[in-house]
Amino acid sequence: MSATELTLTRPDDWHLHVRDGALLAAVLPDTARRFGRAIIMPNLKPPVASVAQARDYRDRILAALPEGSRFQPLMTLYLTETTTPDDIVEARESGIVHAVKYYPAGATTNAASGVTDLRRVYPVLEAMQKHGLPLLMHGEVTDHAVDMFDREPVFVERHLAPLQQDFPELRMVLEHITTREAAQFVQAAPAHVGATITPQHLLMNRNAIFVGGLRPHHYCLPVLKRETHRQALVAAAVGGDPSFFLGTDSAPHPRHAKESACGCAGIYSAHAGIEFYAEAFEAAGALDKLEGFASFHGADFYGLPRNTDTITLRKTPWTVPDEVDFGGVPGVPLRAGEALGWRLDD
């Protein structure tokens, strides 16, 4: 590796939204160019809550891939209060379902079918612990009495710590962590507890939502936090701890849905998914740690083989387009109209 060229084992994205239909076909090539695999989020309408639905969704994703692509979608099930232990057995035996996603009811986009009380799904969690199927968590409380910026630390205290005590062998991933408290919890936890970190939470703090006016395209959930938390996430990502791995949480929303009276949460970053991480690691003086975070830690956690091919990034400045196509409607990508220093070499 040099200051102008960076070759990595092909990375994977362990947290990705690709939606469906025309939008799926429009955004999937951005991910497939960069990543070998991705954990696919199940929060469609209706949610992907059964193995049959996951298999159908996987087929639609494979059909939307560019010709010759070897990208592999890794499917998840949406945890609901009607999920059963038998569903978990079927998921484990399917060979295509790699995890189950927990959304607190109403916590984020298409989370209306989520869980209102984790104790209602304890039999399912017991089955997941028994069969080794990871629980992926949107780790925020939805209690309106809790400040928006404190919802993740409160989740860690109220729910994640007791969950670890009640299910000490349950494999868990705290997704898109945003706070020092979440990073510290994962660092202190056993090896079967991991966390994903997004590019936006490594590169921006909450000031980015307000610079030059309200910036709806920087609004995501969990929201960006204070600079001290960003610094803690960078330290966790570059520290070499295998419990932390890449998960973009790239989420395409049309411009009109973001720039509305009640703008939706989500940032589209797949157009430069690995390039953003290279920028963050370079700024931390830790480019030599990027391959572990992006290409090794997640695969090892999920018990999958590491990819064998490589990608190359070059220090070639380029300008992100002002808009991208989201299936016939415009979308605004992260850093629209701005320059990036690293570029994927095709």
Show binding-site residues for substrate: 17-19, 43, 138, 221, 253, 265
What contacts 71, CB < 8 A, 6 or more positions away? 28, 31, 32, 35, 36, 37, 38, 65
Show binding-site residues: 15, 17-19, 43, 101, 138, 176, 221, 249, 253, 265
Which residues does the annotation mark as catalytic? 249
pLDDT per residue, tens digit, the chain (346 aa), is 457 999 999 999 999 999 999 999 999 999 999 999 999 999 999 999 999 999 999 999 999 999 999 999 999 999 999 999 999 999 999 999 999 999 988 666 656 678 989 999 999 999 999 999 999 999 999 889 999 999 999 999 999 999 999 999 999 999 999 999 999 999 999 999 999 999 999 999 999 999 989 999 999 999 999 999 999 999 999 999 999 999 999 999 999 999 999 899 999 999 999 999 999 999 999 999 999 999 999 999 999 999 999 999 999 999 999 999 999 999 999 999 999 999 999 8
CB atoms within 10 A of CB 337: 11
What contacts 97, CB < 8 A, 6 or more positions away? 51, 54, 75, 76, 77, 91, 133
Q: What is the pLDDT of residue 105?
A: 80
CATH code linked to domain 5-344: 3.20.20.140
- Counts for the chain of helices (H) and strands (E), in that order: 13, 15
What DSSP state is assigned to residue 250?
B
Backbone angles phi, psi at 73, to 5 degrees: -80, 130
Q: Which two tokens stand for residue 227?
A: 């600079």
Residue 242 and residue 300 in contact, taking contact as beta carbons nearer than 8 Å: yes
* Cα–Cα distance, 274 to 11 (Å, whole number): 8
Give this prediction's pTM.
0.96
Q: What is the pLDDT of residue 1?
A: 47
* Cα–Cα distance, 192 to 132 (Å, whole number): 10
What DSSP state is assigned to residue 45?
S
Burial class (CB in 10 A: 0-12, 13-18, 19+), 223: middle
Strands 5-9 and 310-314: antiparallel
Q: What is the pLDDT of residue 337?
A: 97
Q: What is the pLDDT of residue 2?
A: 54
Indicate if the alpha-carbon torsion angle 280, 110, 150, 134 is positive or negative: negative
What DSSP state is assigned to residue 296?
I
Q: Which two tokens stand for residue 286?
A: 């830790």
Show binding-site residues for Zn(2+): 15, 17, 101, 138, 176, 249
R_g of the chain, CA atoms, integer Å: 19
* Cα–Cα distance, 27 to 253 (Å, whole number): 11
Pick the closest to residue 150 from 234, 226, 211 (CA basis).
Answer: 226
Place of tokens 């701890």: 241
* Cα–Cα distance, 299 to 308 (Å, whole number): 12
* Cα–Cα distance, 162 to 338 (Å, whole number): 44
Q: What is the pLDDT of residue 109?
A: 64
